Copies of this chain bind each other. A is one copy, B any other.
């Protein structure tokens, strides 16, 4: 209790389904930019894995306010949080390819195959972990902290390459609705980070990180 040493931030690994077991039952689907893949309340008969592109998972309020719960990027699974009906709406950020799995076949496979079961469980656990991290951002962080947290998240979700240029497949509005801010505040914070030399913004859908340490410091990611 005395030594509040930096608790090793437990990072939940993104689950990887065994290709062997699941590969056979998936079918490829294509979605155009801004198309709805499924809506909140829809019968949850399919789940998906992003191959290319990206997906926003969100909830809408009757008056149009929107909260994005997560972004699914290549390699990520979504739509597995079934309970008969989807709890979130899924929309393509841009033209997106995904593999879709029929729910009944997934469930059957889960009953038979211990590995598949473990990975379904891991997917759910990862989503819960992500949502809990999101709660502290929305509930207790400043605009600066939110934006830098988000950029750090993009850095860490970036696959393989170690380039300082990170892809930003979503719009400013999407970022705002993910972080509980407005579009204007997102712009102002990004501009401020640019002015301070922490990042550069070569275009709408990319950010170059010049000072990752400063970014992480500003994000207070080290809880």
Contact = CB atoms under 8 A, between A and B. Distances in A.
Interface in A145-181: 177, 179-180
A140 B7 contact: no
Interface size class of A (residues with CB under 8 A): 35 or more
Given A10-B84, A139-B138, A59 B124 contact: no
A200 to B, nearest CB: 28
Total copies of the chain: 2
A28 to B, nearest CB: 26
Interface string A34-66: 000001110000000000000000011111011
16 contacts: A8-B41, A10-B40, A10-B83, A10-B85, A59-B135, A61-B220, A69-B135, A81-B128, A81-B132, A87-B132, A88-B132, A120-B121, A124-B128, A131-B132, A131-B134, A138-B138
